[in-house]
């Protein structure tokens, strides 16, 4: 041991004599960290808020081992501080992981880190604190990332002193909008990556491009959502010879796509989505041979047709052209892509929400690398081409809202497909097991059609066992019946099941209720299903159940409290509403149990449904609610339904006065108490407590007294009917406030009142809606 110590001392003496080591380096050899830098880091940490203890490892002598700190292996100098919040991945400061954010002031002790070349404080929360000016004195910085950290103030001009900076990311780093100039960028000649996303650059709107073009080394430029209204159409002094990534999305450009863009020949990614670009898509894109990603989504005035030249971009991997005005057919464009040497590399193609027409060409099947294909909301016709089966990498296919009509059997070769959205087309013919033969990865299928017309028939053997395990099935207006589909028997991972208007005339078999599913939605409405419904099925919050328009019988089913929307109308359910109904399903927002054979009274537990927006229990044999046999007074407890928006109690034998507890229902949209035996004054609080009321119908009762002028505060009112009562006094002079109203007089003659209708017209319509009273003009 003594010999080793002697050898170490001898080596140290030689190094000292050679002038190689400074005093700080000698200390670092012993501790692994320069003492002055360790103290600087501790002082920096003292000022920070660290609620989750992310910097709890900052103890001990060797700061190079602290979390987020990296040192030079030779000199032990701190060169890197990576203190980004790894738990937050978007710019939303209110996510559940916000408790991991660092905050507080950034102290000048960082200036002691003389060799610091990398500083990342992104995704933290420094709200209320400015970016310190001294950061511009960290002359060795090559990498600076402050994105998503909600600093206050503006960008300090001192950042222009960081002449060695290669990477600068200030994306959404400010907590408020301040106009920002770009003059300071001239001091960053080496910059290769610049992101100013979310910064208000309207101050630099006239010369932003000229300021940026001075950065001749730029490889990536990101200026999304920067309030830039001008995209110059001509720009002769273009210097972006190294630029590969350009993001100018979410600005206010309202010009045509400028041709100088096509001179940036190294571009591999161009994002111009969500602007107001107009005109045709230029053929000039064909010159950008290196382009791999092109996003022109959401430029509603950008149109024309997709030319064959655009199809010559054989390096494209992502093409997004949705939500534009592109028209005509796609055959030339897709034919161009299909002719690429060694096949097209295209993986993602989005053409949805355009005006595309015609058949899908058979050449679509030659885009063999497609993973994602979105063609929804166009006017495509005809059948899916048989070549679709060649797309063995395709995972998601969206064809909804077109006019297509045919499925080829080659559909069954899409072995990678996970999502099929085929809603709202004109599908016809027969679906067999062959169409699903190799779809082992399928998770979601949607064949939903609002029309009641059925032209697509599932002809599937009762012994068929699917190769897939679905989580999502939404099928409407397709024939699956007459038997309940037995192929659902092994679908144990379902969360959504919709088989609406599927011509199923059967009972739901016991094996279905025993699948132990936890559903978000169950909809088997508009079939001819019968039998009793057990209470065994489980739901996840917020759950929707629709069993309407069938022949189910027995008592009302009661599921878990996770159900929020329940439609059991138009069945043969009988017996009373369970006394604990409102306690078992307390989070209901929508309930329709109308047109059944229920009897008894509405239980008081209905008052527990404080989230209720819609309640329909009419056309039963109940002793209350509309078109039943309600007698007595409106229960005071009805005022506990704080969220109810529609209360329809018409055509009963209700008596007494309107309970004042109803004023608690401040979200009321429609209140119909007509055709009863209610008496007393029309409550003035209706005009004060129900600001959203659009329908108020109190006709054919025994209300007396004057029309309260407070009703004139109901600025959203569209329909008012106070006729056939015992009202007296004068028509309120404020009736001119009802500028949106559509009056409903006794004979249901609607009268539109324009915003500037004269008083005589208004009074005339009021006379209609208040007729059969004792009112004065």
Strands 538-546 and 444-447: unpaired
Give the pLDDT score at 630: 54
Does 82 have pLDDT greater than 60? yes
Beta bridge partners of 381: 403
Of 37-51, 375-389, 735-749, the one with minimum mean pLDDT is: 735-749
pLDDT tens, position by position, 465-503: 999 999 999 999 999 999 999 999 999 999 999 999 999
The fold adopted by the segment(s) 305-506 is 3.80.10
pLDDT of the residue at 756 = 31
Instruction: Give the phi and the psi of residue 423 in degrees, each rounded to 5.
Output: -60, 160
Task: Over range 743-754, report the average pLDDT.
Answer: 36
Q: What are phi and psi of 159, to 5 degrees?
A: -60, -25
Task: Of 567, 609, 618, 615, give the one whose Cα is nearest residue 585.
Answer: 609
Burial group, residue 296, by CB count within 10 angstroms (0-12, 13-18, 19+): buried
Tokens 């106009």 correspond to what residue?
Answer: 179
CB contact burial 466-494 (16+ within 10 A = b; e otherwise)? bebebbbbbbbbbbbbeebbbbbbebeeb
What pLDDT does 640 receive?
A: 73
Percent of the chain at pLDDT > 70 equals 89
Q: What is the CATH number of domain 630-776?
A: 3.80.10.10
132 within 8 A of 154, measured Cβ to Cβ? no
pLDDT for the residue numbered 344:
85
Q: Could you give the CA distance from residue 495 to residue 522 in angstroms, rounded to a whole number?
A: 9
- Using DSSP's 3-state secondary structure scheme, residue 703 falls into strand
How many other β-carbons are positioned within 10 Å of the β-carbon of residue 363?
Answer: 20
Asked if 213 contacts 187 with a C-beta cutoff of 8 angstroms, the reply is: no
Per DSSP, 325 falls in state: E
**Run of H or E including 513:** helix 510-513
Closest CA to 543 of 561, 526, 529: 561
Confidence of residue 147 (pLDDT cuts 50, 70, 90): very high
Q: Would you tell me how many other CB atoms lie within 10 Å of the CB of residue 342?
A: 6
pLDDT per position as a tens digit, 281-340 = 998 998 999 999 999 999 989 999 998 888 889 999 999 999 999 999 999 999 988 888
pLDDT at 748: 35
Which residues in 318-461 belong to E strands, given as ranges?
Answer: 318-320, 325-328, 348-350, 355-358, 372-374, 379-383, 396-398, 403-406, 419-421, 429-431, 444-447, 456-458
Q: Residue 31: enclosing H or E segment and its boundaries?
A: helix 23-31
Distance CA 352, CA 421 (A): 12
Q: Angle 163-165-166 (CA atoms, 0-180°, nearest 5)?
A: 135
Q: Residue 6 is inside which H or E element, if any? A: helix 2-17
Tokens 């808020």 belong to: 49
Pairwise CA distance, residues 753 & 736, whole Å: 9
Residues in CB range of 538: below 8 A, 6 or more apart: 516, 517, 518, 519, 559, 560
Instruction: List, in sequence order, every beta strand (DSSP E) within 590-652.
Output: 590-592, 597-600, 614-616, 621-622, 631-632, 646-648
CA 366 from chain centre, in angstroms, equals 33
CB burial of 259-293 (b: ≥16 within 10 Å; e: otherwise) equals ebbbebeebbbbbbbbbbbbeebbebbbbbeebbb
Residue 478: its pLDDT value, please? 96
Tell me whether the omega of the peptide bond preceding residue 542 falls within 30 degrees of 0, making it cis: yes
Task: Output the 3-class SS for 112-149.
Answer: HCCCCCEEECCCCCCCCCECCHHHHHCCCCCEEECCCC
Helices (H) and strands (E) in the chain, counts: 9, 48
575 vs 520: CA distance, rounded Å: 28
Selected residue with higher pLDDT from 134 and 14? 134
Residues 6+ apart with CB under 8 A from 52: 99, 100
Residues in the chain: 777
Q: Is the pLDDT of residue 5 over 60?
A: no
Give every CB contact of residue 726 below 8 A, 6+ residues apart in sequence.
702, 703, 704, 773, 774
Angle of helix 35-46 relative to helix 23-31, nearest 10 degrees, comes to: 70
> Which residues are registered as beta bridge partners of 648?
672
Sequence-ordered list of residues with C-beta below 8 angstroms from that of 596, at least 6 positions apart, any chain: 568, 569, 570, 571, 572, 573, 574, 619, 620
- Residue-level pLDDT at 763: 46
Contacts made by residues 377-382, CB under 8 angstroms, sequence distance 24+? 377/352, 377/353, 377/401, 377/402, 378/351, 378/352, 378/353, 378/354, 378/402, 379/355, 379/403, 380/356, 380/404, 381/357, 381/405, 382/358, 382/406
Question: CA 366 to CA 385: how far, in whole Å?
Answer: 11
Q: How far is CA 460 from the centre of its chain?
A: 36
For the chain, what is the mean pLDDT? 87
Pairing assessment for the beta strands 193-195 and 220-222 based on DSSP bridges: parallel
391 — phi, psi (to 5°)?
-85, 70
Give residues with Cβ within 8 angstroms of 222, minimum separation 6.
171, 194, 195, 196, 197, 245, 247
For residue range 586-620, list pLDDT tens digits in order.
Answer: 999 999 999 999 998 888 788 788 888 888 887 88
Contact 216, 209 (CB under 8 A): no
Domains 305-506 and 630-776 share a fold: yes
pLDDT band at residue 239 under the 50/70/90 scheme: confident
Average pLDDT over residues 58-62: 94
Average pLDDT for 371-396: 97
Checking if the pLDDT of 231 tops 50, the result is yes
pLDDT in tens, 557-578: 988 789 999 999 999 999 999 9
Residue 185 reports pLDDT greater than 70: yes
- Better-scored residue on pLDDT, 67 or 20: 67
Residue 171's contacts (CB-CB under 8 Å, 6 or more residues apart) are 91, 147, 148, 195, 196, 197, 198, 222, 224
| In the block, residue with structure tokens 């005006």 | 355
pLDDT at residue 750 is higher than 70: no
What tokens were used for 90?
């978007």
Alpha-carbon distance values, 351 to 356, 357, 389 (Å): 8, 12, 20
Domain definitions of the chain by residue range = 305-506, 630-776
pLDDT digits (tens, 9 = 90+) for 343-364: 789 999 999 999 999 999 999 9
Tell me the two tokens of residue 83.
Answer: 């203190």
pLDDT at position 22: 44
Nearest to 103 by CA among 152, 141, 37: 152
> Taking a C-beta distance cutoff of 8 angstroms, is the pair 598, 556 a contact?
yes
Cα 41–Cα 44–Cα 45 angle in degrees, nearest 5: 90
Question: Which of 145, 66, 156, 78 is CA-nearest to residue 110?
Answer: 78
What is the three-class DSSP state of 92? Answer: coil
Residues in CB range of 368: below 8 A, 6 or more apart: 343, 344, 390, 391, 392, 393
- How far is residue 674's CA from residue 381's CA, in Å, rounded to a whole number? 50
How many other CB atoms sit within 10 Å of the CB of residue 127?
Answer: 15
Write down the pLDDT at residue 656.
Answer: 92
Whether the ω angle into residue 347 lies within 30 degrees of 0, i.e. cis, is: no
Alpha-carbon separation of residue 231 from 168, 242, 262 (angstroms) = 23, 20, 14
Residue 509: count other Cβ atoms within 10 Å of its Cβ: 14
Whole-model pTM: value is 0.79
What pLDDT does 162 receive? 96
Mapped onto helix, strand or coil, the DSSP state of residue 483 is coil
Q: What is the mean pLDDT of residues 632-658?
A: 80
């Amino acid at each position: 041991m003594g010999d080793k110590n002697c050898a170490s001392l001898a080596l140290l003496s030689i190094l000292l004599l050679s002038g190689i080591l400074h005093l700080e380096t000698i200390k670092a050899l012993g501790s692994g960290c320069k003492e002055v830098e360790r103290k600087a880091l501790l002082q920096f940490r003292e000022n920070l808020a660290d609620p989750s203890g992310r910097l709890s490892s900052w103890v001990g002598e060797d700061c190079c081992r602290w979390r987020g700190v990296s040192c030079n292996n030779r000199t032990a100098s701190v060169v890197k501080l990576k203190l980004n919040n790894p738990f937050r991945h978007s710019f939303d400061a209110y996510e559940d992981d916000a408790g991991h954010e660092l905050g507080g002031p950034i102290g000048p002790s960082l200036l002691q880190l003389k060799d610091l070349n990398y500083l990342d404080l992104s995704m933290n929360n420094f709200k209320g604190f400015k970016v310190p000016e001294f950061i511009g004195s960290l002359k060795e910085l090559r990498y600076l990332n402050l994105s998503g950290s909600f600093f206050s103030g503006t960008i300090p001009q001192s950042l222009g002193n960081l002449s060695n900076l290669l990477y600068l990311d200030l994306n959404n780093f400010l907590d408020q909008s301040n106009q920002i100039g770009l003059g300071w960028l001239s001091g960053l000649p080496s910059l290769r990556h610049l992101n100013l996303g979310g910064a208000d650059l309207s101050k630099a709107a006239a010369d932003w491009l000229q300021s940026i073009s001075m950065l001749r080394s730029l490889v990536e430029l990101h200026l999304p959502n920067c309030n830039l209204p001008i995209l110059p159409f001509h720009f002769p002094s273009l210097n972006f010879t190294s630029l590969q990534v350009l993001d100018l999305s979410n600005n206010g450009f309202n010009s045509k796509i400028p041709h100088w863009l096509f001179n940036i020949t190294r571009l591999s990614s161009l994002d111009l989505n969500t602007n107001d670009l107009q005109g045709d898509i230029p053929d000039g894109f064909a010159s950008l041979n290196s382009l791999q990603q092109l996003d022109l989504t959401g430029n509603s005035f950008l149109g024309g047709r997709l030319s064959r030249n655009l199809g010559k971009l054989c390096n494209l991997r992502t093409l997004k052209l949705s939500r534009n005005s592109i028209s005509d057919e796609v055959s030339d464009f897709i034919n161009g892509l299909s002719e690429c040497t060694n096949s097209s590399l295209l993986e993602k193609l989005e053409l949805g929400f355009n005006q595309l027409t015609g058949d899908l060409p058979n050449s679509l099947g030659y885009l063999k690398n497609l993973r994602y294909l979105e063609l929804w909301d166009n006017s495509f016709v005809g059948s899916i081409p048989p070549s679709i089966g060649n797309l063995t990498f395709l995972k998601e296919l969206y064809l909804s809202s077109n006019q297509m009509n045919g499925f080829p059997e080659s559909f069954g070769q899409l072995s990678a497909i996970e999502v099929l959205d085929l809603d709202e087309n004109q599908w016809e013919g027969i679906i067999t097991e062959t169409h699903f033969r190799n779809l082992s990865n399928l998770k979601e299928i949607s064949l939903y059609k609002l029309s009641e017309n059925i032209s697509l028939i599932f002809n599937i053997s009762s012994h068929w066992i699917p190769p897939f395990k679905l989580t999502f099935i939404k099928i409407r207006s397709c024939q699956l019946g007459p038997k309940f589909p037995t192929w659902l028997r092994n679908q144990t991972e379902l969360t959504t099941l919709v088989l609406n208007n599927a011509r199923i005339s059967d009972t739901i078999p016991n094996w279905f209720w025993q699948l132990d599913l936890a559903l978000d939605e169950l909809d088997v409405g508009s079939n001819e299903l019968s039998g009793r419904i057990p209470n065994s099925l489980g739901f996840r919050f917020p759950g929707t159940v629709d069993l309407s328009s069938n022949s189910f019988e027995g008592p009302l089913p009661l599921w878990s409290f996770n159900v929020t929307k329940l439609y059991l109308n138009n069945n043969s359910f009988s017996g009373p509403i369970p006394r604990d109904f409102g306690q078992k399903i307390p989070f209901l927002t929508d309930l329709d149990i109308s047109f059944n054979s229920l009897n008894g009274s509405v239980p008081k537990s209905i008052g527990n449904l404080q989230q209720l927006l819609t309640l329909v229990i009419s056309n039963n044999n109940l002793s209350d609610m509309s078109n039943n046999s309600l007698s007595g007074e409106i229960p005071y407890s009805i005022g506990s339904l704080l969220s109810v928006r529609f209360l329809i109690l018409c055509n009963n034998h209700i008596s007494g006065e309107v309970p004042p507890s109803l004023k608690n229902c401040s979200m009321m949209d429609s209140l119909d108490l007509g055709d009863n035996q209610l008496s007393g004054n029309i409550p003035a609080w209706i005009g004060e407590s129900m600001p959203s009321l659009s329908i108020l119908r109190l006709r054919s009762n025994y209300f007396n007294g004057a029309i309260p002028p407070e009703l004139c505060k109901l600025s959203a009112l569209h329909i008012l009917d106070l006729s056939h009562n015992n009202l007296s006094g004068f028509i309120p002079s404020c009736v001119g406030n009802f500028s949106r109203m559509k009056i409903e007089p006794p004979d249901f003659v609607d009268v539109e009142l324009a915003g500037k209708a004269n008083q005589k017209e208004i009074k005339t319509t009021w006379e209609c809606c208040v007729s059969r009273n004792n009112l004065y003009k």
